[in-house]
Every structure is written in structure tokens, then in C-alpha cells.
């Protein structure tokens, strides 16, 4: 299935940048925080998740996210597909800062996904890790990023609700509210 020809990839880039910018403007993250993205490039181009990978869609999502996040000093973590157990491609500096153990695998379009492949090829010093505790993230096409978010995740409804033909969900996290009747939170 060649769905790529029916997608405005410039719009894909602009929408990803817009969603992340809106999220960070409304819920700022500290420099050095981690932002996770899960992405079905298949869904973006109108195909079936896991079957119609689009390297162009993955590259556009990665580049737009990297540009917005790096300008704010935020680490990007790109989630692989289920064939690599939803591992994440990150910059080596991120893995070192957070004490993340590297695993041995190189993602490709049909074993890791197009976003992870773009991250592997686009980061300066990419590594793959199994787990991360991100402060916020977006899920493009229902790839289930929740396992990589800190507790407590708060749903975020971006003004842009789709990238290409893929629905978007997003979340940021907040510290747990702990204590009892004597607790104060602000």
C-alpha cells in the first residue's frame, strides 16, 4: 500500500511542532526533562498500524520534535514498536544523565518502526534503552506510551488532534499529592 502520496508531509511536520509547542507553552518542562513520542507512521499515512510503515512520516515527526525540544533543552525519547518491546531511542547524554542501561539493537522500519529508525539515524550519539520515566509525551496513532511516563499522568488535549490521518493523545505528568488532612500543596 503506497499511502505516502496522499499525505502532506509539510503539514505533518508543522502539526507535530505545533502540538509539542502548545503543550510546552501550557505545561512547561525543565531543561533536561524527557519528552517521549510513540508514533505509528502507518496510521499517519492512512494505513494499518504495523503494516504500512512510512520512513518519510517517521523522519518528519522526529525532525520536528527534535527541533522544538532541543531548542528548549529537553531530551527526546522515541519509542520503538512492540517488536522491540517498546524500547526507546535516546541520545547517549540522556541515558547517562538518568542512569539508563543500554540494550543491543538497531531499529529499522519493520523492527522498531520508522520513528525509532529516524531517531537512530538522526541523533548525534543514539542508544537504545528499555525504560524511561518521561515528564510528558505524545502518542501518534495509538502506540501506547503510558508505560514510559512518570506517575501521575494528566491527559492533555492539543488543539491539533491528528497528525496526517493518525489521532493524537498527549499527557504531561505532575508530582503525586501525598499526605492527609494536614497536607498543603501550594
Question: What pLDDT shows up at residue 4?
Answer: 59
Let me know how many helices (H) and strands (E) the chain has, helices first: 5, 9
For residue 30, give its domain range: 7-166
Residue 183, domain member (yes or no): no
| C-alpha pair distances (Å), 133 with each of 36, 50, 51, 67 | 9, 25, 28, 21
Residue 181, domain member (yes or no): no
> Would you mind telling me the total number of residues written for the chain in this entry?
186
Question: What pLDDT shows up at residue 5?
Answer: 60
Could you say which residues of the chain have pLDDT below 50?
Answer: 1
Residue 12, domain member (yes or no): yes
Angle formed by the axes of helices 55-71 and 114-122, nearest 10°: 50
Residue 14, domain member (yes or no): yes
Give pTM, 2 decimals.
Answer: 0.94
Q: Give the integer Cα–Cα distance in Å for 169 and 140.
A: 7
Which are the contacts of 167, defined by CB distance < 8 A and separation ≥ 6?
Answer: 43, 140, 141, 142, 161
Residue 172, domain member (yes or no): no
Residue 110, domain member (yes or no): yes
Question: What pLDDT shows up at residue 1?
Answer: 46
Which residues are paired to 163 by β-bridges? 166
Peptide bond into 152 cis (omega under 30): yes
Helix (H, G, I), strand (E, B) or coil at 135: coil
> Considering the chain, what percentage of its residues have pLDDT values greater than 70?
97
Query: Any alpha helices (H) in the chain, and if so which ranges?
Result: 9-26, 41-44, 55-71, 92-98, 114-122
Residue 176, domain member (yes or no): no
Question: What pLDDT shows up at residue 94?
Answer: 98
Question: What pLDDT shows up at residue 126?
Answer: 98
Number of domains in the chain: 1
Residue 123, domain member (yes or no): yes
Q: In the numeric block, which cell numbers belong to residue 142?
A: 495509538
| Tens of pLDDT, residues 82-133 | 999 999 999 999 999 999 999 999 999 999 999 999 999 999 999 999 999 9
Question: What pLDDT shows up at residue 180?
Answer: 81
Question: CA angle, corner 47, sides to 168 and 3, nearest 5?
Answer: 110
Q: Cα dihedral sign for 19, 16, 121, 123? A: negative
Q: Cell match 547517549: residue?
A: 92
CATH number of the domain that residue 90 is part of: 3.40.50.10360
Amino acid at each position: 500500500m503506497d499511502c505516502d502520496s496522499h499525505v502532506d508531509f509539510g503539514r505533518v511536520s508543522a502539526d507535530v511542532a505545533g502540538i509539542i509547542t502548545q503543550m510546552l507553552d501550557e505545561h512547561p518542562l525543565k531543561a533536561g526533562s524527557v519528552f517521549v513520542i510513540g508514533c505509528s507512521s502507518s496510521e499517519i499515512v492512512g494505513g494499518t498500524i504495523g503494516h504500512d510503515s512510512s520512513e518519510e512520516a517517521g523522519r518528519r515527526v522526529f525532525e520536528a520534535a527534535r527541533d522544538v525540544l532541543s531548542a528548549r533543552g529537553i531530551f527526546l525519547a522515541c519509542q520503538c514498536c512492540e517488536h522491540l518491546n517498546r524500547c526507546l531511542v535516546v541520545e547517549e547524554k540522556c541515558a547517562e544523565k538518568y542512569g539508563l542501561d543500554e540494550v543491543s539493537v538497531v531499529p529499522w522500519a519493520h523492527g522498531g518502526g520508522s520513528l525509532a529508525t529516524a531517531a537512530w539515524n538522526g541523533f548525534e550519539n543514539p542508544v537504545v534503552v528499555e525504560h524511561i520515566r518521561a515528564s510528558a509525551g505524545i502518542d501518534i496513532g495509538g502506540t501506547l506510551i503510558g508505560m514510559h511516563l512518570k506517575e501521575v499522568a494528566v491527559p492533555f488535549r492539543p488543539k491539533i488532534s491528528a497528525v496526517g490521518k493518525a489521532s493524537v493523545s498527549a499527557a504531561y505528568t505532575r508530582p503525586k499529592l501525598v499526605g492527609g488532612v494536614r497536607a498543603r500543596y501550594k
